Amino acid sequence: MTLDVAAVRAGFPILKRTVHEGKRLVYLDSAATSQKPHAVLDAERAFYETSNAAVHRGAHQLAAEATVAFEDARATVATFVGAQPEDLVFTRNATESINLVAYTYLNATLKAARGQALPDGAERFVLREGDEIVVTEMEHHANLIPWQELCAKTGAVLKWFGITDEGRLDLSGDVITERTRVVAFVHQSNILGTINDPAPLVARAREVGALVVLDACQSVPHQPLSLPELGADFVAWSGHKMLGPTGIGFLWARPGLLAAMPPFLTGGSMIALVTMEATTFAEPPQRFEAGVPMIAQTISAAAAADYLTAVGMHDVHEHEQQLTAYALAGLQAIPGVGIIGPRDMHSRGAAISFTVNDLHPHDVGEVLDRFGIAVRVGHHCAWPTCRRFGVPATTRASFYLYNDTDDVDALLEGIEQVQRFFRVG
């Protein structure tokens, strides 16, 4: 079975619009956010039109229906990633998911220092001066800055793996040591497209008793995954990059881990018993879902998971791999175009960063936009990765199930227009 892209495209209303005086929209920025199919838009509208109510409270029928739909959504999303619903926490975005884990360490450390009660097993989150947190030079700021901040607050030390010239993680050296408590890394780089095999890092983290945090924002939407098989302890991703709405993120934890964690955000919905003096906390996942959650967004994100399941994640992945191979070959055939990241299809996904002669990406993007081609320009919230390759920014094209070879051809032709306009190449 191969993907029927024309049929897929028909389900995405935004792809029918034109830009810049009638030009076909060539949307090559799905790594930033994906477009939304009717199925997702309809699910959100249907919820508001038929069942809107606050979940997990109230006794009326709407509240009951909303709560059932919300918890069904948890089961749907969990199933989509091969997980159990009780191990899945809803957040606002992947950034919040990673912050939730980082604050778990901070809160456990602060409470332990004051002799406060912690859940059984929480000592694994208590940091001591000189403990080490390991990241990579390939991280999105969302999986870097929370760890920098945690180190600044606790006296832990941040260390990182570098990147090879080919855009792969350089796993040489003793970055992970007996003092390492957290190993946090990206599954698929949003800027380089590199897919990192979690296995070697997971194995080394296990040897020293460190927990593994995986940023899967760019992998969950694009390949079939069973999270428990990746070996990580925490996996974070977002809804809006997998055809869902903005405002919904996910954190999966290895079974049993959530129960050992003190809460992150506190307030309504996350409690067991409250008095004026003290509070006990709900069981997970509710312990980590303070306040009225993103109900409509969660339900429509589940519709996105259903949509992707119906299309078939194997077919989505296969289609993207073919498009990426086609684009990589085409880009490398244009004199003056350089790829930043893996140049072949070995362990790489559908995000391609490139340079055009010595042109600044903003100038490249401005001209491409005039031809209807939407790419991302800038440092992609991975500024240290740009610095590693000696560029202030890159131009990035990223593909999803609704892109076709016409889109890639438009990009290649657009780059030649850019070169002509600026008289380079």
Partner 1 sequence: MVVEPSLESIYTEIILDHARHPVGKGLREPFTAQVHHINPSCGDELVLRVTLGPGPDPVLQDISYEGAGCNISMASVSVLAELATGEPLSAFEAKHREFLRLMHGMGKVDPNEELLGDATAFAGVAQLPMRVKCALLGWMAVNDAVGQSLAAPVAEGEQS
Instruction: Enumerate binding residues for partner 1 (CB under 8 A).
Output: 20-21, 359-363, 366-367, 370, 377-379, 383, 386, 392-393, 421-422
CB of 211 vs partner 1, minimal distance in Å: 31
Q: Where are the beta strands (DSSP E) in 8-127?
A: 18-19, 23-24, 26-27, 88-91
CB of 293 vs partner 1, minimal distance in Å: 30
Q: What is the DSSP string of 339-350?
A: EES-SSSTTB-S
**Which residue's CB is nearer to partner 1, number 326 or number 383?**
383
Taking the mean position of all CA atoms in its chain, how far away is CA 152?
A: 25
Q: To which residue do tokens 């791999």 refer?
A: 321
Percent of the chain that is helix, strand, coil (3-state, to 5) = 40, 20, 40
**Which residue's CB is nearer to partner 1, number 312 or number 425?**
425
Q: To which residue do tokens 């080490």 refer?
A: 132
CB of 367 vs partner 1, minimal distance in Å: 6
Taking the mean position of all CA atoms in its chain, how far away is CA 422?
A: 35
CB of 67 vs partner 1, minimal distance in Å: 40
**Which residue's CB is nearer to partner 1, number 342 or number 361?**
361
What are the residue numbers of the active site? 381
Nearest alpha-carbon partner for 399 in 20, 8, 19, 34: 34
Q: Which bin fits 312, alpha (ψ -120 to 50), beta or left (φ > 0)? A: left
**Which residue's CB is nearer to partner 1, number 142 or number 393?**
393
Report the C-alpha gap between 136 and 183 in whole angstroms: 9
Report the C-alpha gap between 87 and 121 in whole angstroms: 16
**Which residue's CB is nearer to partner 1, number 111 or number 370?**
370
Which H or E run includes 247?
A: none
